[in-house]
Each structure stands twice: as C-alpha cells, then as structure tokens.
Structure 1
C-alpha cells in the first residue's frame, strides 16, 4: 500500500486516514480515482448524514474520474460507526454504502461487542484488498459493474450447537469466520497447523484467488497451461483436502515446487496460495516505491536496487519485480529481527514457485490490458 499526501496541505496521510493530523482537513478515499482527497461539506458538516461533499481538487489527469472539476461525493454510511470506513461514494451512485462495504452481505450477531470489533478489523482488510484488486485492473471502480464480477463476503461467527464456520469460497461468496480477527486465535491456529504466516489480509487474498480462478482461468485459454503447471483441478477436492490434513505437516516436501505446504493440497489451493503471494508482492513493492526505497546489499553491490511501482503503466516485467523483491524482503526481515520479532516474510521463492508466480503475473496483466480497452 502506498502512502498519500493531503491535497490541502501536503502532509503525509495514510490509506486509513479520516482526517489530516496537520491541517485538520476531512479525508476520504475516492475509489473512482483510487486516491486520498480532502473533502468539504456542501451542506451539513460531519457528523450529519453523509451527503453533499466535494473533493477539494479535481481528479488527476488520465484517471477515470478526470473531469477537470472538483467532484461531488457522499461519504460511506459506515464512516461514523465502529468500521470507520473512509471510502466515498460518487454522486451518481444511489447506494448508502461504499463499493467495498456493500460487498459484505452477511454479518455476525452485532449484539456481541467482540463481533463488532472483529467486523471492523475485517472491513479494514477488505478495503486494502479492494484497493489492490482495483489497481491490478481486476474490478471496476465506477459502481457500474455487474455485482457478480466482484466477490461477495459473508462474515460469520460460530454458534452454539451448530457446525463451525469454515473460511472458504463458493460460487462467488467468500466466507470468513470472524474469530480470525482475534490475534490470539489466529496465532493458535497458525501454530497448530505449523504455518509460517497467517493474517486477515492473507486470508482475504487467498480466498479472492479462488474467486478469480473462476473468472480468469475456468473455461479460458489459460486452463490447459494452468493444468500443466499447477495440476489437474478435476481431481476430487474434498478427498484431496482429507488426505492433506491426514499428513504430518512437517513431512510434506513442498519447498521446491510450491509457495507453501498448504499449496500441495490441491491445484486450486496451489493457485490460491500463489495468487495471495503475488498480491503480497505487488502491495509491498508499491509501498517501497512510494518511499523511493533504494537498497544496497551488504555484499559489495555497487548499484543500489531501486523499487519500481508494480502498478505503473507500463509496469515492470516479472523478472524486474523479482529482482526488487529479494533484497526488499532481506531488508524487511533484518529490520523485524532488530525489533525482536520473527521474520515478517518467512518464505523463500523456489524455482517452481517462481514459475507459478510468473503465470499469475501474466494472467493479471492480460486482464488489466483487457480492462483498459
């Protein structure tokens, strides 16, 4: 995720910001131009009902919202509850919720305060997924897309005398057990499954991989190349998972051909794990590029490696991204170790995983090209 600047005073602000701490300007994220903007009320100020706001400045040239004039918006109805959603809604969109919030169709029992906090954390992660997906050209941001072209979300909690809620994807619906928003529960599950990494955004990116497999791979010219690289997805999925969970995770030999141990379970899971990892890559590379990061490795390398924005048009090719990625993750892990934490990036990209990541890159770039037409 890149960092932003307040367009009222130029001070640094972040994707989650509701207000500039320097000048006090109200801020909103504008999905139609994928930027943070200062917004001003045209009628009643906050915390009145969110309507009649306009951006302080026009959208940048070349964006879908470029009209040369400041644009009018309403603020998401979840801005003033525990979600603290800072997304705006275009004036001609008659919905009360922003493009990200309206993708959530089912919520857990809100009478439980813990569920409210869990929902807020998940929505924050969902907004980050929305941003990355939109930057990659995987979804429209004008509010006019067919709802079936975007994932839908069901955020559910376990209930007494009912089967546990399983995180997963089916027919365009991503279900997430909201207990995954609790740090202690997520760590417990990570340790029990011998996983090196388990986060909310990781779950959402993984499940979005299943969603986009249905839309980008199934029935397309990519299907046979997918099967050649990842395996035949027509094998029995339930049986494959049963076999996988029946094995000792420490005995799985996955390091040469997969990005994770779970990727060995089934070709669909291999794709989803690789897809999630690709989203990790582009998001972290964009963050580094927005800080104009240059890395000089301590092995005598003369020329520092400069991070390039993976969302630029034209963007860097996959080999360039990978050449930036390796020193960036070395720096990241060295910094987290200095603070007494485990590695923030506990992975090594093997030759097999590299080929699969390149495949995801090619699929995404083709999709972005078709969306630009």
Structure 2
C-alpha cells in the first residue's frame, strides 16, 4: 500500500482516512487514479470536486456504502445509474445491519475487501461481475450463522466468495486459528486466498496455462472432497515444508494454488508499503550479502520475480526480528524454499501475462 498526501496541506494520509486531520478536508479514493484526494463540495452540494489535478472525470460522488461508513471510494457524478464503486459493486449479500455489532463487523470486512481490490486494480487483473457472467462472475456474500443451522463456511464456488461474518470477531478468529493450528489467519488473508480460486478458474482453467500449472502444483483432477477428508484425518505429509507454503496447501492442488496466490498478494502489497517508506535492509559487517534488501522499485512494476524475492526475504528476516524484540509473534512466519519460490514465480508470470492481455 502506498502513502498518500493531502493536496491541500501536504499532511500524510493513509488508505482508510476519510478526512484530513490537519486541514479538515473530506477525502475520497479515486480508483482510476490510485489517488486519495482532498475534496471540496460543488456549488449545489450534491457532488465533490477533487483537488488532485489529474482528476478529469469529476465532479465525483461517494459510493452508496459511504452512508454506512464502510467505503470512501468515489464514482464520477456523470454516471448517475451507478450507485456502488468498483469494489462494492461485487457485494451480493451484506450483513443484517439491524443485528447489534454487524455494522462494525461489516466495516472490518470492507477494510480488508477494499485493500484486496486496491491490489487487484494495481495488478490490472480482469474481473467480471455477475451481470457480465451470470454463472461464474465474481460476487461476495457476507453471512452470519443461522441460529439453528450449520455454521457458515468461508469459501469459493464458481466465482461466489462467502466470508463468514464471525471472522470479523477477533476473539473468534483467533480461537479458530489456534484450533486449526494455523500460523496466520486474518480477514485480508481470507480474501486473498479465496480470490485465488476465482483466478485459477479465470486464468488457468480458462486460460493457456493449465498444463504448466499442473506440472508445478499437481493434478487438480484428483477428487477434492476425498483429498480434503484425507487431509483432516491424517494431516500434512512428512516433509511438507519443503514444497508447500502452509499445511492447508498440501490437501489439494487447488488449495496449494490459492495459498500461494494469497502469499504473492501478501508479498507485493507489503513490499509496496516498504518501498513507499523508502525502507532498506543494509548489509552490516559480518552479515552475509543475502541479508541486504534495496527496495528500489514498486513491486507492481517489477518484471522479474527474482527481484521481488531478493527484496522480500531480507525484509521478513528484519521485521521478524523486530517483532521478537517486542515479544510479538513473527510478522511472516513462513519459510520460502526454492520449490515454493518456483510456485510464486509461476503466479507472478500468470499475473503479468493477464496484465499484458488487459
């Protein structure tokens, strides 16, 4: 995530800010410009002018979900039939806001979802709505457990991504993380994993890389339910850490792809933040060259995955050490072996091939 600054007073701004804390200007995100812009109201008070001088699609109005405090993205006012921004138009079912606490849960979900869409847009990845593709278009359901029914399961099916609302409760999510023996479980991680299944369908199954993908991740034609049952009964195979980024990735090639896809999004997004802050990991006397990271380029624009890996690995070593110094868990508790880096490199190639076609 990049840093932003107020066009009125140069105050540093962050992605979820809705008003500048120094000058008080209202803020809105313009996805076509990747700009968090200070705003001034139009004369009639029904729209907003952006102070970003590149904003030639203005005036703008806020996404309809801005009324709930869950979205700060803008839409050109010249599109009166469009109520929702590019991120919120994919919502199919939102939480029941009459239930106490659900607005706060939805707010947390939307923060994660908007960060997902920031990355998808920065990568120029294709995405189709349910209107464009009624059978496999992308859509989101945010569901609460029924009082007497089975618990809602977070997952993906034919473009529909379901997020269990209880995942927005920190205590519940941490409890599930511990019960399932996971190193990492976040709302943003769920979004990045489940969208990986959507892009497997779109870019691999329906693209030109199925054979190549099977050679790297395994044959996806194996029975999924049997593989899942075997995983939960027996656990991961011995020595799995050499080839898989997580235990869950071992259960089926689809899950291996989705887990690896999620980690690719973790990496490019976090490296952009490090790049925005001008972070480097300098080589110190007695330390090996491999501990040095010069993050000179925005990772969204880097053609070679090796360059990304050379920046990412030393950064994780440094930040993991900083966390330990504070008595916290590792920032990135995963080991990227050569086999896993090969899988990440395939994801990088797939993303850039799709970007070139776009």
TM-score (structure 2 length as normaliser): 0.93
Are residue 168 (structure 1) and residue 155 (structure 2) matched? Answer: yes
C-alpha displacement of 1:122 = 0.3
After TM superposition, list the pairs within 5 Å mapping 1:28-67 onto structure 2.
28-43=28-43, 51-59=46-54
C-alpha displacement of 1:288 = 0.4
> For residues 42 and 162 of structure 1, what CA distance do their matches in structure 2 show?
49
Aligned pairs, how many? 352
Aligned 8 A contact 2:126 2:354 in 1: no
Q: Gaps spanning 5+ residues in structure 1: where?
A: 46-50, 60-64
Distance 1:107 1:43, change over 3 A: same
Q: 2:90 aligns with which of 96, 100, 103?
A: 103
Correspondence for 1:259: 245
Correspondence for 1:88: 74
Distance 1:283 1:206, change over 3 A: same
C-alpha displacement of 1:268 = 0.3
> For residues 106 and 238 of structure 2, what CA distance do their matches in structure 1 show?
35
Correspondence for 1:138: 125
**What are the Cα deviations for residues 327-346 of structure 1, in whole angstroms up to 9, with x where unaligned?**
11112112222222100100
Correspondence for 1:244: 231
SS at match of 1:337: helix
**What are the Cα deviations for residues 282-310 of structure 1, in whole angstroms up to 9, with x where unaligned?**
00000000011111144446895321211
Aligned 8 A contact 2:293 2:312 in 1: no
SS at match of 2:36: strand
Aligned 8 A contact 2:92 2:140 in 1: yes
Are residue 276 (structure 1) and residue 262 (structure 2) matched? Answer: yes
Are residue 181 (structure 1) and residue 176 (structure 2) matched? Answer: no
Correspondence for 2:293: 305
C-alpha displacement of 1:58 = 2.5
SS at match of 2:257: helix
Are residue 228 (structure 1) and residue 223 (structure 2) matched? Answer: no
Q: 1:114 aligns with which of 92, 101, 113?
A: 101
Distance 1:26 1:261, change over 3 A: same
Aligned 8 A contact 2:29 2:73 in 1: yes
Residue range with higher mean Cα deviation, 209-218 or 327-336? 327-336
Distance 1:177 1:103, change over 3 A: same
TM-score (structure 1 length as normaliser): 0.89
> For residues 350 and 290 of structure 1, what CA distance do their matches in structure 2 show?
27
**What value does the CA root-mean-square deviation take over the aligned residues?**
2.1
> For residues 151 and 366 of structure 1, what CA distance do their matches in structure 2 show?
20
Are residue 18 (structure 1) and residue 18 (structure 2) matched? Answer: yes
C-alpha displacement of 1:180 = 0.5
Q: Gaps spanning 5+ residues in structure 2: where?
A: none
Aligned 8 A contact 2:127 2:138 in 1: no
Correspondence for 1:62: none
